[in-house]
């Protein structure tokens, strides 16, 4: 097992990508602190982890709030004893609207949850990892943080900020034996995407045609990449952003 004896804190792990990461880590031997904005969804993931024979706790917290983050990390340390791995996955359902029509409140909320939340969790857990002389941090960005997606002003800016934050922390904390990396998912078949399809915001046929591998990603595709980057297999890798997008970013041909 790649994570035997490790403890991971995974934010936004009530469903979708975060849940897949939490379960994959547990399958590989880790105990997991499961965070979600709503306790019930975190508890659902915890039940599945415990079926695998690993320790798990559910923590309700808004990662954009300093007090919530402090309380979340303190509880994880108190009940599980340590945090070897931090995965910053928490996010909100951002608007897909023309920039001139976007509400300032929603713009601020999107940046707060994604970028501020990632920063606050890195800052708090980073203090503990520095004191312990090591750790692994994985941030979840998006291909929207690498290339321009129309009408995704807040989301794209937040995800681009996460990529740069990853580089800064990787360089700053390397001397403390802390690896900081990032995954940039493409279109992944999560409940959020499924809801977007039902609302007419996403055209699955167009997305699949635009993706060289010819399918949407699954949460497990991201979880496997995450496992690699937090394991000893990647111990000499830090500061990178790994696209997991079926070739989306590589594709530049618009013919038939």
**Catalytic: 155?**
yes
Cα dist. 50→26, 55, 219 in Å? Answer: 9, 6, 20
Catalytic residue among 119, 155, 236, 253: 155
Phi, psi values for residue 10, rounded to 5° = -120, 120
Residues noted as catalytic:
155
């Amino acid at each position: 097992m790649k994570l035997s004896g490790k403890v991971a804190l995974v934010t936004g792990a009530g469903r979708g990508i975060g849940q897949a990461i939490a379960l994959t880590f547990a399958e590989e031997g880790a105990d997991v602190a499961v965070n979600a904005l709503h306790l019930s969804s975190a508890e659902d993931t915890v039940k599945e982890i415990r079926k695998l024979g690993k320790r798990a706790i559910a923590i309700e917290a808004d990662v954009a709030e300093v007090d919530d983050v402090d309380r979340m990390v303190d509880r994880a340390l108190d009940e599980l004893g340590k945090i070897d791995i931090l995965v910053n996955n928490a996010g909100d359902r951002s608007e897909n609207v023309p920039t001139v029509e976007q509400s300032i409140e929603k713009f601020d909320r999107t940046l707060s949850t994604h970028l501020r939340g990632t920063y606050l969790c890195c800052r708090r857990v980073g203090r503990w990892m520095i004191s312990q002389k090591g750790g692994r941090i994985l941030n979840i960005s998006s291909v929207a943080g690498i290339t321009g997606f129309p009408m995704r002003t807040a989301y794209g800016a937040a995800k681009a900020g996460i990529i740069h934050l990853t580089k800064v922390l990787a360089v700053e904390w390397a001397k403390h034996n802390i690896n900081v990396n990032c995954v940039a998912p493409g279109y992944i078949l999560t409940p959020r995407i499924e809801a977007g399809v039902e609302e007419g915001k996403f055209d699955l046929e167009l997305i699949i045609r635009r993706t060289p591998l010819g399918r949407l990603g699954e949460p497990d595709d991201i979880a496997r990449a995450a496992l690699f980057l937090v394991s000893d297999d990647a111990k000499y890798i830090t500061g990178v952003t790994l696209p997991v997008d079926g070739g989306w970013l590589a594709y530049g041909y618009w013919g038939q």
